Structure 1
Amino acid sequence: MTTTWTAEQHGNGSYAEVNGINLYYETHGEGRPLILLHGGLGSGEMFGPIIGQFAEGHQVILIDLQGHGRTADIDRPLDIKFMADDVAALIDHLGLEKPDVVGYSLGGGVALLLAIRHPQKVGRLVSASAGIRRSATYPEILEQQGQVGPEAAEFMKETPMYELYSRVAPRPEDFPRLLGKIGKAMAVDFDYTEEVRNLQVPTLIMAADADMCPPSHFVEVFELLDGGLRDGGWMGEGRPKGGHALAILPGLTHYNLFTSPLFATAALEFVDKPE
């Protein structure tokens, strides 16, 4: 099986030794910096079908997170807090001035934690398909996640995730290890309600209308950000005080949102909005 994720035009790939990890990143286009963070068991290549939209007016930096894509794993749990710190260190390494950050699924969680832990390093934030509380995920999905472990590697050999990993990973034989670490990470309870309530970075909460969590969860997150509590007003005076926004994208699921032109359009509309 070959994925259809890869971009027709390859970016410039490099490695950076930051925060104790040799992090792979790839740049596309020119303009104001925008960091794109991929989903679990993927890599920056996941955005291949829509990278052109993002790169049309931005210098896009695709990062392969810990243990994913071309970034080898290290002796550390897969934890979005650590991965957020990796991204913050790369921002410093590259000398970027408050880049906008767009993340999907695992990357959406990393992006959110980046804004929570390092708000001074982020311009605008888009967190897509990333619940802020484990219990918000549908029970049947939590049950499926509970079955992810090293022993699942054989069953995943016909998936796009394995095809990508086996093609680009520094150590393709580490795929069972990655599944084991992801399985452990998904079993850990989390709730970022209070952290989100105090978020200082202008944030777009985005989801598919048939995502891993119900649309009501993302509406709840928007409410934590002062959204959906009153009429917006003729001049927008009733919109959330922090510049936050909500987008529920129609006709999509958790598994195709990241290749949809709607995803890129909504994200760019938000990050490119004049101050």
Structure 2
Amino acid sequence: MSYADVNGINLYYEIQGEGRPLVLLHGGLGSGEMFAPILPAFTANRRVILPDLQGHGRTADVDRPLDIRTMADDIAALIDHLGLEKPDVVGYSLGGGVGLHLALAHPQKVGKLVSASAGIRRNATHADILAQQGQVTGAAAEFMKETPMYESYQRLAPRPEDFPRLLDKIGAAMAVDFDLTDEVRGLSVPTLIVGSDADIVPAAHFVEIFNLLDGGLRDGGWMGEGRPKGGHALAILPGTTHYSLFMSPLFPAVAMAFLDQEG
């Protein structure tokens, strides 16, 4: 359990396990400990670095917006701080987006990427979810006091009273329009796109991302000669939702199969 002063933030992280490094990035309103049910599957043969992103878990917020691009720069700086040589990166939801931005902005720092439950266009999100996201403000803090997210924040955060501020920042961040279509076309880091079969975006959106990566556009061939040239892959996890994927044993199973594959 340590802190790293990187990129203007005092970033909390834990390291568990031994082996090739793997950075594991949590979802919004969570922390690294949310992966506890499946962490042993990652640490069985990997040295896993578990950061708490800006304003989450044990990492105190700082005076800047909650911007996924800045958080990606935080992780790039943490990789340098720890002297890691092109670690693999696995991210879920917010962490999946951070991992994707990390791979786009700092491809030389990442080995392979697994981006789970993270869309690349805001308008791909189901309309009812967008409406719910529009209600995320500090005023909702009182209504969240019985939730696991609130309990975790109160237990871990250096300043538990910052919870309404975090909700305000998350709400503002989710209201910003984005479309990474053009950027994703040029993604050079071998990437596994993961989604649940009942996610906050249609499963077809994950297929769309895979198509942008030259995937699913032709028969793969007997020897895999028709697979995406960048080494990209796609997995839709059956029987999961956006809110259960990060606990499903299928998640580390497909992630590690992709990361451990040679070539």
- Taking the aligned partners of 1:38 and 1:196, their CA distance within structure 2 comes to 21
How far apart are 1:274 and its partner, in Å? 1.1
Q: Of residues 208, 211, 215 in structure 2, which corresponds to 1:220?
A: 208
The question of 1:253 aligning with 2:220 is answered no
- In the aligned structure 1, how far is the partner of 2:43 from the partner of 2:85? 18
* TM superposition score normalised by structure 1: 0.95
Alignment partner of 1:162 out of 109, 133, 150: 150
- Cα distance, 1:178 vs structure 2: 0.2
Alpha carbon RMSD of aligned pairs, Å?
A: 0.4
SS at match of 1:83: helix
Counterpart amino acid of residue 8 in structure 2: G
CA distance in 1, matches of 2:102, 2:188: 11
Amino acid of the residue matched to residue 87 of structure 2? P
Residues 212-267 of structure 1: per-residue CA shift (max 9 Å, x gap): 00000000000000000000000000000100000000000000000111001010
How far apart in 2 are the matches of 1:239 and 1:274? 14
Q: Deviations over 1:11-35 (max 9, x none)?
A: xx10000000000000110000000
Q: Which residue of 1 aligns with 2:258?
A: 270
Of residues 58, 65, 73 in structure 1, which corresponds to 2:53?
65
Letter matched to residue 269 of structure 1: A
Instruction: Measure, in 1, the Cα distance between the counterparts of 2:14 and 2:261.
Output: 25
SS of residue paired to 2:228: coil
Report the AA paired with residue 259 of structure 2: V
CA distance in 1, matches of 2:61, 2:4: 14
1:30 aligns to 2:14 (yes or no): no
Look up the match of 1:240. 228
Unaligned runs of 5+ in 1: 1-12
Deviation per residue, 1:132-188 (Å, 9 max, x gap): 000000000000000000000000011110010000000000000000000000000
Query: What count of residue pairs does the alignment treat as equivalent?
Result: 263
Q: How many Å separate the matches in 2 of 1:160 and 1:123?
A: 33
Structure 1 position 85 matched with structure 2 position 73: yes
Find the residue that maps to 1:61 and give its secondary structure: strand
Q: Write the letter of the residue equivalent to 1:21.
A: I
Name the SS for the 2:64 alignment partner. coil
Q: Distance in 2 between matches of 1:264 and 1:157?
A: 30
For residue 182 of structure 1, the aligned residue among 170, 191, 195 is 170
Partner of 2:240, secondary structure, is strand
Residues 101-112 of structure 1 correspond to what in structure 2 (within 5 A)?
Answer: 101-112=89-100
Unmatched 5+ stretches in structure 2: none
Q: Aligned residue for 1:134?
A: 122
- Aligned identity (percent) is 76
Distance across 2 between alignment mates of 1:273 and 1:109 = 23
Tell me what 1:19 maps to: 7
Q: Report the secondary structure of 1:268's partner residue.
A: helix
1:148 matched to 2:147? The reply is no
- Stretches (4+) displaced over 6 A: none
2-structure distance, mates of 1:159, 1:102: 25
